Structure formats: structure tokens, C-alpha cells
Homo-oligomer: A and B are copies of this chain.
Amino acid sequence: MTNKIPVGILGATGSVGQKFIELLTDHPWFEITELGASEKSAGKKYSDAVNWVMQKPLPDKFGEMLVKNCVPDFNSKLLFSALDASVAGKIETEFANEGYIIVSNARNHRFDEDVPLMIPEVNPDHLELIKKQKYSGAIVTNPNCSTIGLAMALKPLEEKFGIEAINVVTMQAVSGSGYPGMSSMDMIDNVVPFIGGEEEKMQTEPSKIFGKLSTDGTFNSADFNISAQCNRVPVIDGHLECVQVKLKNKLSRQELISAWENFSSEPQALNLPSAPRYPVKYTFNEKHPQPKTHRNEGNGMTVTVGRLRECNLFDYKFIVLSHNTVRGAAGGTILNAELMKAKGYLDKIL
């Protein structure tokens, strides 16, 4: 018997669902007690339903669990959603209407005006938006993987200097498209300069993430100008981004680096289990950051920044590296749930 909070995974057989299982296996607060997936999988033992692609083997206790249908008869009231966007919208709404708290990695509800689009280090106060929800439960979402790394790197700058414009070109890992995802025929000796819908997400999500929620409940999006170009490269994990920014207050290179080095936020203050000691790290090696070398910094939750230099067209340019399936997906979602727990947002289901 344990005192941990029982949780379920919706969409447990996909690669993000598997990552949730991997990251929650020894979690100090949460314990997976139910796994949900599509009708095709429901009723099977999880080990029979899943094509396990994580690097560590599937723990036996999960392999033996029976997969459930994604209908609102779960015993655990806290659910992590790794559902595919083709079904997530409707299913998440059904669960939230039945009192479940959904912490989701799916994109469907990201722009609902009463749903927080959360990165705990960036906009923890947006959790307040939940109060506007008419669900008996709740829905909280996290941004797209490529947006998260970007927003984490921008937050310390935005706080200190204000941001006017952002230009970003990404080189994204194949794990971002799930399994099987990208064909090896396209990813050996090649780069694909297109990821469906990705540029649109990167151009719209930051405005909501950096929006201001007033005490009277009004919400104003940030008015950034953003251009994004997204490429898929032959890398397993780790999104690399070439970022250029125009700042409202022009400050020195050293001031920017200090802003990153000194950045710490609510997850660090609350000492959340998945919070990295350093949410952002600056590296001085001119060849860094690189996916293979830096993706596991802070157990995949630290975002690494490097090569800050002045720009002929913007104020500054620099490189950002984040682990797309940890900080950029399952790990970020878990950190959202931890923040909710720490701030009392789970009390009603406990």
C-alpha cells in the first residue's frame, strides 16, 4: 500500500504514452494504476498491446496491466493524456466533464481560452485560468515540443529586457514524429525541410504562453512577431534551434548570459520532483550545445543555450537545445501536474 496519487495514462501505447510510463515508473508522488488506449488495444495485457520502443525495458508490473478503453470510468482521477490529436479533443472533454483532471500533451485544447498552455517555469500563474473552466474536472495543456525549448530560453530575456521579435529555425529529432514516424529512407543522408503544422504552432503558441493574466481575469496575449522554419534531421532525440531576437531594452551580451545563468522559477522554488536544478544552462564552448551531448542535461529537463552573438539583423542570435520527448513532452506534462499538486489544484480529487 502506498500513499502516492493514483494516475492513469490515456493513449498509453504510443511513444509519448510510453515515455510517460518510463518517467513515472519511480515517481515519488504519482503511481500509475490504469492504462488507457484505443479499442483495438483495450482488454489486452499492456505488453501485448504495445510495441515498446523506449531504451529501457518495460517494467513487468506495467506489462501485466490490462489496457482499458478511454471512457470516463477510470478510478484514478488524475490522467496524463498522450492521445493522438485525431481523438484527444473529444475524449479529454468527456473526462473533464466527468470530474477528471486531464494534464495533456495533445494540441487540441491548447487555444481554448480557459485552458492554460503551461510551462511551469514560464507561466505558472496561468493555472488560474482553470477557475474559468465549466468542467467538473479540468484540462491543462503543454505546448508543442519545439515551442517549449524556445519559450524556456526566451523567458529570462523576456523578464529582463522585453522581446519584440523572434526568428527561429529548428533542426528537430525524429522521435518528435512518434513511432514509426519518419521513414529511414528519408532520414539517412538527408534533411527534410518540412514538418506539417509545426511552423504554425511555433508562431502562435508563444503569444499565449507569454500572455498576461490580470487579477481581474482578463487575458492579453503577448504581441511578439514570430517567424519559424522547421526541419527534420537524422537525430533520435533533441531539438536544436537557431534563434534570433529583437529586445525592447538593448543590453549587453554579458547581461543576457547572466539572465540565463541566474534564472530560476516556481518549480525550483517549490522543489518539484521533476524540476531541474537549472532550468536553463548557458555553455561557453563554441561548438555547443549539441543534441547528443546536451539532451540529457538535468535528466532531460534542462534547456541548454550557447553561441550567443550579436546579429546584423536582430539584436542577438543564439542556439537552443532541449530534449523533445522529456522537457518537450512527457516530462513537461508531468512537471505541470507536479505544479498543480504543489499549488493545491489537485486537492479536489484527493
Report A's interface with B, CB cutoff 8 A: 53, 55-56, 165, 167, 169, 171, 174-175, 179-194, 203, 225-227, 229, 231, 233-236, 240, 242, 244, 286-293, 296, 306-307, 311-314, 317, 319
Contacts and interface: CB of A to CB of B under 8 A. Distances in A.
A194 B314 CA distance: 19
Nearest to A228: B312
A290 B190 contact: yes
B185 A183 contact: no
A229 B240 CA distance: 13
A229 B317 contact: yes
Contacts of A191: 171, 233, 235, 240, 290-291
Contact of A290 (B182, B192, B227, B236): B192
Contacts of A174: 184-185, 188
Contacts of A203: 312
Nearest to A283: B57
A181 B225 CA distance: 39
Contacts of A171: 171, 191, 231, 233
A53 B313 CA distance: 34
A184 B189 CA distance: 11
A242 B225 contact: no
A235 B190 CA distance: 5
B55 A244 contact: no
Contacts of A234: 184, 188-189, 233-234
20 contacts: A55-B292, A56-B296, A167-B167, A169-B229, A171-B233, A175-B185, A183-B183, A184-B184, A188-B188, A188-B234, A188-B236, A189-B189, A189-B292, A190-B292, A191-B240, A193-B289, A193-B290, A227-B244, A227-B311, A227-B312
A2 to B, nearest CB: 25
A244 to B, nearest CB: 7
B183 A179 contact: yes
B55 A193 contact: no
Contacts of A193: 240, 242, 287-290, 306-307, 319
Contacts of A175: 185
B189 A287 contact: no
Given A171-B231, A189-B291, 11 more contacts: A55-B292, A171-B171, A183-B183, A184-B184, A184-B187, A192-B287, A194-B286, A194-B307, A227-B312, A227-B314, A233-B234
